[in-house]
Amino acid sequence: MHFLRWTCLLLQIIDVQGLALDYLEIGTADFDTLAQQLHGTEGVAGLSVEPVEEHFQRLPERPPLLQKLRAAVAEADGEAELYVVRQEYMEPQCSNETVRELGLPYCLPWWFRATASLHRPAALVSVHAGPKALEAQVAMRVPTVSYASLMRRYGVTRLHLLKIDTEGFDVFILKQMLAWGEMTGQYPERLQFERNNLTDVQESQQILEALQAAYDCWIPAAEDDVQCLRLGDLAVGQPYASSGVSFPTPWWRLQLPDRLQVAGVRISLEDKDSLVVKVGDSLGIHLNRLCGPVQSTETGAVVARCALEGRYVMLLGTSQPRQVEVLGPRTAFGAFRLSLGQRCCHRGCNSSDTSLFEGYDPQCERRCREDHSCHFFTSFNSLWCITYADCEEELPERDAASVTFGLWPRELLPLPILRSSAQQSSVDWGGEAHRAIDGIFDPHFLRGSCSHTAQESQNSWWAARVDPETATAVTAVRVLGRWDCCHERLDGWEVRVGFDPDVLRNPRCGTVQSPLAAGGRRTIHCGQAMVGDMVGVVLPSGEPLTLCEVEVFGPYRW
């Protein structure tokens, strides 16, 4: 039985085309590595590449699933000089008794053993060791391998996560990765690499721009690591409408399967001069937001970069594009990214039962798809996995690089809100009412995207009008609360929907609400469709009301 089980696991990672790796980590050192974290996890296939012999020997392996290679990833196969810090200059060998003899202002921390630098001395050592920096390092010859050779040697045809930490050499490896992808069509689904003072600013900016053609990248708050997700076409099989050519301003509109993040739009068409691209929740032309200017590509197509969230993509100036690709973060198997740095609580965030599964699993999406009760999952760069039955309430995740996906569209139709209609009972701390519907999902008040009322004797409130040309009814409202302070004030709040401009006179949607967790987001279902174009949030206690984003949904329809 043990042999059969092992054979099945092996067959899962090797297909007729080659090896499918869950991770490739380049420049591992010997601590906080994926190889160490996942050594005891069944079914994980990974490769660790580390040039320093001492670190390499400490890395676990479990062939043929977990493998390791002693080498530096460089421009070509061969050998190169690698600069490493001498042990006597670092803790624990360096001490108060020896530091003066070494001529250092202080002992270098123990983690400097992970600062090995290819071709040149490590810049970070110079910052801390000053004139003794060269003396504190020793050059050694190490084997090198190019990214392409690495892929060929192990027969890698599919890679989930590429993690790079090579002390300023990350950019050069990423260039090789992109060249390999252009040649073979094989790109990692997810990237993690450093962007700090060890990397040339101009080179770093150039590689980020190059990555935008294939990835959606971001830098989580308070981190140096860049995180990227592979872009896919969100438009495949989706319904569209067209004005025809007779309109003064012809248009073409695509409906996405959910309100999704649109990184960009790639279009093939004849006349490119007057083309404008918009993304948003409105069926009309004017309420949606503009993407960046249309730019030509080497292939003859044009691309507009958007970085906008919405349900509809509209092209103004054409009614007959030959081909449209709506580029957004999605998995290779079709799951759509819903949020960053958030996790779901499928029975409420105050419940002890907040997930279906939580643990290491590199095949997080497959686990969710095989569980008929699972509709959402959160994946991490550590290959940690959480699956959920629903995502009605969300919390900020301690790991800001976490990503939550949905397997299929939610039964909610986003409704556009008229930003100019936003109003509230009062304004304090500069928290104007329109901030709550600016499309920025940031729960930190000081970053300028949350509304804020003053203390009232009773009934602090906020309200805005749904676009009457689009809305027929309201079925749910989703509210993002504040993270950095005072989330407990939002106790006993209510959502109101109706036609009365005085939101206090409109009927309640759903029940009286308990406080949101810090930075939490909750969907309040009305129970049945409520007719009305005014949507409001009321806090009867009169405490200051702070809302960081309000979304309104209507009955699902195509």
Q: Which helix (H) or strand (E) holds 54?
A: helix 53-58
pLDDT of residue 198: 65
Query: What pLDDT shows up at residue 346?
Result: 84
pLDDT at residue 156, rounded to an integer: 96
CB neighbours of residue 400 within 10 Å: 17
Of 109, 83, 113, residue with least CA distance to 94? 109
3-state secondary structure at position 465: strand
How many other CB atoms are found less than 10 A from the CB of residue 186?
A: 16
Non-local CB neighbours of 65 within 8 Å, separated by 6+ positions: 9, 10, 13, 43, 44, 45, 46
Nearest to 233 by CA among 198, 257, 211, 197: 257
Local structure of 22: helix, strand or coil:
strand
Using 70 as the pLDDT threshold, list the residues of the chain that sit under it. 1-17, 197-198, 222, 246, 271, 409-410, 470-472, 556-558
Q: Which residues contact 370 (CB under 8 A, 6 or more apart)?
A: none
**Cβ neighbours of residue 379 under 8 Å, at least 6 residues apart?**
364, 365, 385, 402, 403, 405
pLDDT computed for residue 26 by the predictor: 97
User: Which tens digit of pLDDT belongs to each residue from 172-216?
Assistant: 999 999 999 999 999 999 999 987 766 777 888 889 889 988 999
Q: At what angle do helices 170-184 and 147-154 cross, to 10 degrees?
A: 60
- pLDDT, position 4: 37
Give CA–CA dist 202/344, Å, rounded: 38
What pLDDT score was predicted for residue 236? Answer: 85
> b/e string for 448-465 if b means 16 or more Cβ within 10 A?
ebbbbbeebeeebbbbbb
Answer for the pair 461, 535: CB distance below 8 angstroms, yes or no: no
Neighbours of 157 (CB within 10 A): 17
Crossing angle for the helix pair 170-184 and 201-211, to the nearest 10 degrees: 20
Task: Report helix, strand and coil shares of the chain as percent, to nearest 5.
Answer: 20, 40, 45
Nearest to 254 by CA among 468, 558, 459, 476: 558
Cα 32 to chain centroid distance, Å, stands at 21
> What's the Cα-to-Cα distance from 246 to each of 239, 269, 317, 318, 529, rounded to whole Å?
21, 17, 12, 11, 37
pLDDT attached to residue 246: 67
